[in-house]
Amino acid sequence: SSGDEALRDKRARILSRGLPKQKPIEGVKQVVVVASGKGGVGKSTTADILTITFLFLTQTKEVGLLDADIYGPSIPKMMNLKGNPELTPKNLMRPLKNYGIACMSMGFLIEETAPVVWRGLMVMSAVEKLLRQVDWGQLDYLVIDMPPGTGDVQLSVSQNIPIAGAVIVSTPQDVALLDARKGAEMFRKVHVPVLGLVQNMSVFQCPKCKHETHIFGADGVRDLAKTLGLDILGDIPLHVNIRETCDSGQPVVISQPQSDAAKAYLKIAMEIVRRLPVAPA
């Protein structure tokens, strides 16, 4: 009834008064978050490589990569970047650049081996700084690499800035899918559109005999996508090159652009850009 609806609206308005207001980051046109729920399924690798791949697509001019994994920042290593960020005259941190990508990570602010043993409140404050106290400049896309889980960081990011879309990465393994599903539900709760799922580590091909093994199961992500009514943005094989090149800071799309792995990432990047076309200047 209209009386109930009015009550619900009033309740929602009162509840939202305590929440931070969403404010876009100046100069950043669209934010894409890469998340998973499950750890170790390839979020950082995928976020890293997709960001570089965005630059290959002709309409994209400037991209940034924010590593929001405060506890385990992988981006510095993957992008072969080190060092403390400089400060601009306005006291903003200047992102470090490699392969044309502007990067910011907790990893630039602490020693490589230093653990970050922080409670949620401090993490929220760190994420705010990494979002707002960085001189991002004009970006067509800002890709945010999220940590695993469905907690403080994910909530802080989605409550703080408008997000154009989320990409959920998973392997076909049951326990990974469980968490991917929770990740999707979390985005639904905070009203962030899910662009689709990426099926990572989908298949392993023996370098000697070329026999294919589905180490983490086959098609689990496709089935989950169907259940949740989401698209599959693409499949990425489990290939030693992807890991090796990331570990050495020369992601596969740069060092081996003709490989199957690179082509898989390019396809996914194109799917994302198709859903979130570059906004006009």
AA letter at 64: G
Closer CB to another protein, residue 109 or residue 178?
178
Our finding on whether 116 is near another protein (CB under 8 A) is yes
Which helix or strand (DSSP H or E) is residue 208 part of?
A: none
Q: Binding mask 128-147 vs another protein (x if CB under 8 A, - otherwise)?
A: -------------------x
Tokens of 160: 């703080």
Closer CB to another protein, residue 183 or residue 249?
183
Of the candidates 25, 29, 33, 38, which one interacts with another protein according to CB under 8 A? 38
Percent helix, strand and coil across the chain, each to the nearest 5: 40, 20, 40
Our finding on whether 15 is near another protein (CB under 8 A) is no
Q: What is the DSSP letter of 56?
A: H
- List the one residue out of 207, 206, 205, 201 whose CA is nearest residue 219: 201
Our finding on whether 104 is near another protein (CB under 8 A) is no
Q: Binding mask 152-191 vs another protein (x if CB under 8 A, - otherwise)?
A: x-xx------------------xxx-xx-xxx-xx--xx-
Q: In angstroms, what is the minimal distance from the CB of 160 to another protein? A: 14
Our finding on whether 149 is near another protein (CB under 8 A) is yes
Of the candidates 57, 100, 118, 217, which one interacts with another protein according to CB under 8 A? 118
- Note whether 272 and 195 are within 8 A (CB): yes
Our finding on whether 209 is near another protein (CB under 8 A) is no
Identify the three-state secondary structure at position 129: helix
Our finding on whether 245 is near another protein (CB under 8 A) is no
CB atoms within 10 A of CB 214: 15
Closer CB to another protein, residue 183 or residue 234?
183
Pairing of strands 165-170, 194-199: parallel
Our finding on whether 193 is near another protein (CB under 8 A) is no
Convert 225-247 to b/e letters by CB count within 10 Å (16 or more is b).
Answer: beebebebbbbbbbbebbeebbe
Which helix or strand (DSSP H or E) is residue 137 part of?
A: none
Closer CB to another protein, residue 102 or residue 131?
131
Identify the three-state secondary structure at position 16: helix
Our finding on whether 41 is near another protein (CB under 8 A) is yes
Of the candidates 56, 61, 71, 250, which one interacts with another protein according to CB under 8 A? 71
Our finding on whether 120 is near another protein (CB under 8 A) is yes
- List the one residue out of 114, 135, 167, 121 whose CA is nearest residue 273: 167
Residues that bind another protein (CB under 8 A): 37-41, 71-72, 115-121, 123, 147-152, 154-155, 174-176, 178-179, 181-183, 185-186, 189-190, 243, 247
